[in-house]
């Protein structure tokens, strides 16, 4: 593994051509996050975004018990949040800087040019939900335990859940219910409302399914894949007129590629095609 992928609390591996697997690795704390972890997460996804040898990313977590149990509350209490400021305005300004930095780390997943598949097993609470919503595709097991937990620590979730969940196209009445009550929900419910697009039996099955999907994406034209992710994200945030115009400008450049001819031929001949690096 290149140095750029060696960071504490993460294992990054490349089990198949063009497929990167990022494993959150703090199982003894149920993969709870402290500051160094979100900073490292950003470094990893910034590197993956521009790495020509990577076309798809799988995000998973070590251990059997949890994808991520949320913020490491003890560490947070001892860290940034502990500094005293001379008045409420100054406290607010420091807090604002802190939230921006934290948000930017998680948003690096969304900004990563390549699609990211989240494999969610076990406890997926609080920050675990924020992280999964910055990913493109969410899969889970039947026994995954989800909770938008923040309200139970006196906090409106501020690292992405309250912003991205209404745009994940899951029903708003349900969104408000789970965000306001902090109640748990499982894999089947997550699938029914559309929070995940697939439920698999067991963590092993989940990894297998995730890797299959990743390998499928890795075999496709990286020009088409990168464009598809970007145009879907852009369109999510804009009206239809805006989205169509942006799409036209985008493809004015991105259709200038040998991949189109190669992909069509490959489809006709049922053969695998090798696309140039992006």
Q: How far is the CB of 262 from a second copy (least distance, A)?
A: 7
Among 70, 160, 187, 210, binds a second copy (CB under 8 A): 160
Least gap, CB of 113 to a second copy (angstroms): 8
**Site membership for a second copy, residue 90 (CB under 8 A):** yes
Among 4, 6, 208, 236, contact with a second copy (rule: CB under 8 A): 236
- CA-to-CA distance for 129 and 127, rounded, in angstroms? 5
Position 75 contacts a second copy (CB under 8 A): no
83 is a site residue for a second copy (CB under 8 A): no
Degrees (nearest 5) of the Cα angle 112, 113, 115?
85
Closest CA relative to residue 140, chosen from 148, 132, 150 = 132
Which one of residues 3, 64, 82, 240 is an interface residue with a second copy (CB under 8 A)? 240
Q: For the chain, state the CA radius of gyration.
A: 20
Q: Decide whether 5 or 254 has the Cβ nearer to a second copy.
A: 254
> Closer CB to a second copy, residue 2 or residue 99?
99
Which residue, 61 or 213, is less far from a second copy as judged by CB? Answer: 213
Q: Residue from 4, 53, 153, 208 that binds a second copy (CB under 8 A)?
A: 153
User: Which is closer to a second copy, CB of 36 or CB of 180?
Assistant: 180
Residue 13, H or E segment: strand 10-16
Q: Binding string, 100-139, against a second copy, x = CB under 8 A?
A: x--x---x--x--x-x--------------------xxx-
Q: Report the residue number, 6 or 208, with the smaller CB distance to a second copy.
A: 208
3-class secondary structure, 131: helix
Cβ neighbours of 234 (radius 10 Å): 14
Q: Residue holding tokens 């620590």?
A: 153
Interface with a second copy, residue 187, by CB under 8 A:
no
User: Rule CB under 8 A: is residue 257 a binding residue for a second copy?
Assistant: yes
142 makes contact with a second copy (CB under 8 A): no
Return the bridge partners of 13, or none.
Answer: 21
H-helix or E-strand containing 252? helix 240-254
Residues near 67 by beta carbon (within 8 Å), at least 6 away in sequence = 24, 31, 60, 61, 118, 119, 120, 121, 122, 123, 124, 128, 132, 144
């Amino acid at each position: 593994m290149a140095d750029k992928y060696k960071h504490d609390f993460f294992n990054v591996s490349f089990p198949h051509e063009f497929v990167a697997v990022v494993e959150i690795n703090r199982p003894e704390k149920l993969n709870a996050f402290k500051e160094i972890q979100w900073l490292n997460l950003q470094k990893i996804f910034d590197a993956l975004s521009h790495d020509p040898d990577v076309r798809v990313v799988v995000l998973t977590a070590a251990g059997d018990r949890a994808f991520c149990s949320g913020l490491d509350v003890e560490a947070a209490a001892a860290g940034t949040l502990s500094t005293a400021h001379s008045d409420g305005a100054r406290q607010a300004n420091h807090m604002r800087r802190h939230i921006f930095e934290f948000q930017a780390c998680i948003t690096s997943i969304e900004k990563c040019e390549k699609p990211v598949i989240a494999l969610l097993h076990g406890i997926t609470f609080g920050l675990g939900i924020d992280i999964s919503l910055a990913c493109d595709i969410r899969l889970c097991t039947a026994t995954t335990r989800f909770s938008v937990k923040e309200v139970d620590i006196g906090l409106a979730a501020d690292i992405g859940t309250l912003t991205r969940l209404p745009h994940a196209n899951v029903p708003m009445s349900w969104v408000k219910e789970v965000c306001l009550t902090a109640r748990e929900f499982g894999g089947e419910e997550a699938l029914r409302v559309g929070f995940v697009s697939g439920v698999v039996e067991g963590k092993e099955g989940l990894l297998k399914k995730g890797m299959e999907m990743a390998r499928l994406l890795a075999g496709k034209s990286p020009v088409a894949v990168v464009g598809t992710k970007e145009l879907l994200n852009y369109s999510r945030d804009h009206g239809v007129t805006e989205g169509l115009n942006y799409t036209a400008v985008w493809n004015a450049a991105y259709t200038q590629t040998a991949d189109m001819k190669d992909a069509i031929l490959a489809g006709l001949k049922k053969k695998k095609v090798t696309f140039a690096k992006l």
